[in-house]
Chain A
Amino acid sequence: MTIRASKLWFGYAVAMAWFYVLLWPLLGIKAAGLEFAASFAIWSKVAVAAAICLVLYQVKQAGAFNFLTKPTERVGEAASAAFRRVPTWLSLAVVLALAVIFPLFTERYAHDVAISILVYIILGLGLNIVVGMAGLLDLGYIAFFGVGAYTYALLSVHFGLSFWLCLPIAASFSALAGCLIGYPTLRMRGDYLAIVTLGFGEIVRIVINNWMSLTNGPNGVLGIKPPGAYWFNGASLEHVWLNHLEQLYYIILALAVFTVLAVYRLNYSRIGRAFEAVREDQTAAELMGVNTLRIKLLAYALGAVFGGLAGTFFAARMQFVSPESFTFIESAMVLAMVVLGGMGSIPGVILGAVALIALPEVFRGFELYRMFVFGGVMAAMMIFRPKGLWPAKRLGARSEERE
């Protein structure tokens, strides 16, 4: 569909005038007096950028880029065909091998970034079970991350339990929390569920923040032990703390690989299919004999388990936890990874996590603008590419296509 040029430019003029009216009062009205320079500088940049986009759009519609796009398309097709011919196990093996040798030729800073990416991959995949597979929008997911982190933090500080023992304990605690939060919300659908999970996420954070005797409130918990291991030192077996970044990197890599495998297997299991059935049509699923209440609860619990695992690692890696790490914005961030990458798609979620953690590191100078851009991109993605960067492969027609 092409839009007539006159209509396009008229719309542009109205939009830019509107934008200036919205922008100027924020920057231009000062107690000292009115000024126009600062707002005009920003406005003119945006206006020029938008105009360039419009011109490009018109030129593209007129077909002037065909000499460029046609060959690129052909190259792209050839590349994707070649990629498809490579067996999946081979490409996976290459990715895994790269991930394994990654610390050997990089430095501390890169390890640090890679560790956060892997933590977020686990979180994203966990949330993907709830949102992508079962279709339950959860805006308080980070609460499970918090439950996992605090479980390990408190057990480690007060009882000296080891990281490895706490992994399953924290995961079960998170699963329990998932069931507790999930149970009352399961009768709701869609957007009500979103707002209630958001409320629960905030409740968890507020409780952590105020329960001074248990969590030390906003000051956080200090002195959490890193993971320990027994290692041969000469002939004798010795206990060592794995607190070097490379060691932590391999631990989280192992956890991430475990998560990917688990979620992949889940996708093709009976439970995974039940999740999908509930997502597509709850009533129909129930008629087919799916116990929807139990399946939804299971989705919550499974999602929470991975949140808890990631949280345990997070506490061990930082050796400090405080309620500040579990705010709503973190939930939104994890959700954005799932959405950006493609709901229900494992490679998509991984790509989303890499994009959202690595890109801000590359553009360090624009730190302040990170969330700003990110909110805009989230809305734009929904409009232009609602299935994400790497959409999940699915069979049959989906209800959202029919609606």
Chain B
Amino acid sequence: MDFFFQQLVNGITLGGVYALVALGYTMVYGIIQLINFAHGEIFAAGGYMGVILISWLFAQGYPPFLCLGVALLLAMGYCALLAMALEKLAYKPLRQSSRLSVLLSALGMSIFLQNGLMLTQGVYDRAYPGEMVQGGFEVGTVMISYMQIIIVAVTVLLLVALNLLVFKTRIGKAMRATAQDKTMSGLVGINSGRIISITFAIGAALAAAAGIMVGLYYGSVRYDMGFVPGIKAFSAAVLGGIGNITGAMLGGLIIGMIEVFAAGYISSEYKDVFAFIILIAVLYFMPTGIMGENVDDTRV
């Protein structure tokens, strides 16, 4: 039973991170029906920015929490800029082309960014400063590290902030309107180009935060760290119902749980396989996901 609760804690941590990445996929898909393959690389870029900024700030002698907070904000800003540039360069010129073209362009950008990270940062793992946040406490025999507390806290904070942004502000309303009907929202004066740009920026900022937290959790980052979590997060978005923000959060949590429990109880070598199997099963048996609306021909 202790093992079960331990895995539950780990699952919540990991699931929260997947949820953050999944949001980027789901928001972009909701608005322009594109699987943004490069999203995983933006997540990786966030992880690298975390290493770079935290190492630098730490070397200047700032306290760990300040380092983490500042690095988090700066990395989120950086990835937002990166994603906006990506959208402008690789996706916007293709708005009128076939969906295959945009998908291939996204794939190309994913390879481009991944190798860009490799060229500038090297092929080896880069470690976070080890003495950042250590220790933890025990509840019964279940070990909860402070790192996990921070990760869950930041995740919850960001998810709440995103919900407020999307459901309570004017920009959020414009985003939802554009996702529903681009022509109509254009007619009532919403600049869809700008909204798409903002959507990319928000998704990227969340992915950057997730990248830093994964980096902190595992202690290091690697240039190709975005690939597998990217697919898992996409699975989470599909599981929750693509285009649905609450669904993505739920889906992320479920995928994280399944991965951790499958690794713990079935086989850790095959843990990556389970996410794919869930993705395929969901698409086959309920393509709308848990919370998705009816999906028409163009989406499935």
* Residues of chain A whose beta carbon lies under 8 Å from any beta carbon of chain B: 18-19, 21-22, 25-27, 29-32, 34, 135, 137, 139, 184-185, 187-192, 194-196, 198-200, 202-203, 206-207, 209-210, 283, 328-329, 332, 335-336, 339, 368-369, 371-372, 374-383, 386, 399-400, 403
Of B47-55, B214-222, B257-265, the segment with at least 4 beta carbons within 8 Å of chain A is: B47-55
Whether a CB of chain A sits under 8 angstroms from the CB of B85 is yes
- Beta-carbon contact of B270 and A206 below 8 Å: yes
Query: Taking A137-B100, A332-B111, A379-B112 as contacts, is the C-beta distance between A22 and B270 under 8 angstroms?
Result: no
Partner of A195, one of B96, B113, B279: B279
- Please report the number of residue pairs spanning A and B whose Cβ atoms sit closer than 8 angstroms: 166
Q: What's the tally of chain B residues with a CB closer than 8 Å to chain A?
A: 65
User: Which chain B residue shows the least CB distance to A27?
Assistant: B120
- Beta-carbon contact of A195 and B234 below 8 Å: yes
In the bound complex, CA of A188 to CA of B270 (Å): 25
In the bound complex, CA of A254 to CA of B269 (Å): 40
Partner of A31, one of B58, B115, B117: B58
In the bound complex, CA of A335 to CA of B100 (Å): 12
In the bound complex, CA of A187 to CA of B288 (Å): 13
Query: Taking A137-B100, A190-B100 as contacts, is the C-beta distance between A368 and B119 under 8 angstroms?
Result: yes
In the bound complex, CA of A328 to CA of B111 (Å): 11
Given contacts A190-B103, A202-B273, 8 further A-B contacts (CB under 8 A): A25-B78, A31-B55, A31-B56, A185-B283, A195-B231, A196-B280, A383-B94, A403-B96
A-B contact list, 21 entries, CB within 8 Å = A26-B121, A27-B120, A31-B56, A187-B284, A189-B300, A191-B103, A192-B238, A199-B275, A202-B231, A202-B273, A335-B107, A368-B119, A371-B114, A371-B115, A372-B116, A378-B105, A379-B104, A379-B105, A379-B106, A382-B108, A386-B98
- Beta-carbon contact of B279 and A199 below 8 Å: yes
**Complex interface: chain A residues within 8 A of B53 (CB):** 25, 29
In the bound complex, CA of A22 to CA of B238 (Å): 31
**Complex interface: chain A residues within 8 A of B270 (CB):** 206-207, 210
- Beta-carbon contact of A29 and B59 below 8 Å: no
Partner of A400, one of B97, B115, B118: B97
User: Which chain A residue shows the least CB distance to B123?
Assistant: A368
**Complex interface: chain B residues within 8 A of A27 (CB):** 120
- Beta-carbon contact of A26 and B120 below 8 Å: yes
Nearest-neighbour CB distance to chain B for A43, whole angstroms, equals 12
- Beta-carbon contact of B276 and A188 below 8 Å: no
Nearest-neighbour CB distance to chain B for A367, whole angstroms, equals 12
State which residues 26-84 of B face A: CB under 8 Å.
33-35, 48-49, 52-53, 55-56, 58-59, 78, 81-82
Greatest chain B CB density within 10 A among A207, A335, A369, A380 is at: A380
Nearest-neighbour CB distance to chain A for B262, whole angstroms, equals 13
- Beta-carbon contact of B105 and A383 below 8 Å: yes
Partner of A371, one of B81, B106, B111, B277: B111
Greatest chain B CB density within 10 A among A34, A185, A199 is at: A199
Query: Taking A375-B110, A382-B102 as contacts, is the C-beta distance between A198 and B231 under 8 angstroms?
Result: yes
User: Which chain B residue shows the least CB distance to A217?
Assistant: B269
In the bound complex, CA of A32 to CA of B57 (Å): 10
Whether a CB of chain A sits under 8 angstroms from the CB of B177 is no
- Beta-carbon contact of A377 and B231 below 8 Å: no
User: Which chain B residue shows the least CB distance to A18?
Assistant: B85
User: Which chain A residue shows the least CB distance to B242?
Assistant: A192
* Residues of chain B whose beta carbon lies under 8 Å from any beta carbon of chain A: 33-35, 48-49, 52-53, 55-56, 58-59, 78, 81-82, 85, 89-90, 93-94, 96-121, 227-228, 231, 234-235, 238, 269-270, 272-273, 275-277, 279-280, 283-284, 287, 297, 300
- Beta-carbon contact of B56 and A29 below 8 Å: yes
User: Which chain A residue shows the least CB distance to B277?
Assistant: A203
**Complex interface: chain A residues within 8 A of B98 (CB):** 386, 399-400, 403
User: Which chain A residue shows the least CB distance to B58?
Assistant: A31
Nearest-neighbour CB distance to chain A for B27, whole angstroms, equals 15
**Complex interface: chain A residues within 8 A of B100 (CB):** 135, 137, 190, 400
Which 8 A/B pairs are nearest by Cβ-Cβ distance?
A: A378-B108, A375-B111, A375-B112, A199-B276, A379-B108, A372-B115, A400-B98, A382-B105
- Beta-carbon contact of B35 and A194 below 8 Å: yes
User: Which chain B residue shows the least CB distance to A338?
Assistant: B104
**Complex interface: chain A residues within 8 A of B48 (CB):** 26
In the bound complex, CA of A278 to CA of B13 (Å): 44
**Complex interface: chain A residues within 8 A of B273 (CB):** 202-203, 206-207
**Complex interface: chain B residues within 8 A of A378 (CB):** 104-105, 107-108, 111-112
User: Which chain A residue shows the least CB distance to B78?
Assistant: A25
**Complex interface: chain A residues within 8 A of B300 (CB):** 187-189, 192
**Complex interface: chain B residues within 8 A of A21 (CB):** 81
**Complex interface: chain B residues within 8 A of A332 (CB):** 107, 111
- Beta-carbon contact of B109 and A192 below 8 Å: no
- Beta-carbon contact of A191 and B55 below 8 Å: no
- Beta-carbon contact of B99 and A190 below 8 Å: yes
User: Which chain A residue shows the least CB distance to B41?
Assistant: A375
Partner of B276, one of A26, A203, A380, A381: A203
**Complex interface: chain B residues within 8 A of A374 (CB):** 108, 111
Partner of B104, one of A26, A190, A339: A339
In the bound complex, CA of A195 to CA of B90 (Å): 19
- Beta-carbon contact of A29 and B112 below 8 Å: no
**Complex interface: chain A residues within 8 A of B56 (CB):** 29-31, 34
In the bound complex, CA of A202 to CA of B274 (Å): 11
